[in-house]
Amino acid sequence: MEFNLYMGDRTQASRDEIVTAGYQELTTPEQVDEVMQNKGTTLVMVNSNCGCAGGVARPAAAQIMQAEGKPDHAVTVFAGQDKEATEKARSYFKGYAPSSPSFALLKDGSMVTMVERHEIEGHQVDDVVAKLQAAMQQVNK
């Protein structure tokens, strides 16, 4: 199979998985800026085609949306695909280097914490969900 065709299929499947889980897909910098004006908690899932970490991050993203205390807003950008939207989202992640896949938790548009790739890759889905839940509980105190 041609590589670009395969990657296009893989990318679409990765996008669909996150949207089906309840995340709003942001594909432009303007959409990112608009969402960052929201009050409350916003969870940004930085999606990627990485098989190792992405195979943990996407199921964790779905599970956190079914958990108690889920975020007020859940959005996603796709690293390597929607480059300008991802760059704009990362401009809000003060104090953190680019990492994908990853999760950024913001409150009223301000950075709270991040679950970075090194905290996802090599870990279990439940471990990542627990980190996200702990972060949500901390910000909601």
Is the pLDDT confidence value at 4 over 80?
no
pTM for the whole thing? 0.91
Q: Cα–Cα–Cα angle for 28, 88, 135, nearest 5°?
A: 110
Tell me whether residue 52 is one of the annotated catalytic residues: yes
d(CA 55, CA 48) in angstroms, rounded, equals 10
Active-site residue flag, 83: no
Instruction: Tell me the pLDDT tens digit for each residue of 23-73.
Output: 999 999 999 999 999 999 999 999 988 766 778 999 999 999 998 888 999
One of 21, 36, 43, 50 is an active-site residue; which one? Answer: 50
Residue-averaged pLDDT of the chain: 90
The answer to whether the beta carbons of residues 115 and 128 sit under 8 Å apart is yes
> In which band, very low, low, confident or very high, does the pLDDT at 11 lie, cut at 50, 70 and 90?
confident
Rounded to whole angstroms, how far apart are CA atoms 53 and 71? 22
- Give residue 25's pLDDT: 97
Closest by CA position to 42, among listed 97, 10, 89: 89
- CA neighbor of 44 nearest in space, from 82, 17, 78: 78
Helix and strand counts by DSSP (H, E) for the chain: 5, 5
Overall average pLDDT of the 108-125 stretch: 94
* All structural domains of the chain: 2-140 (3.40.30.10)
Which residue in the list 13, 19, 52, 67 is annotated as catalytic? 52
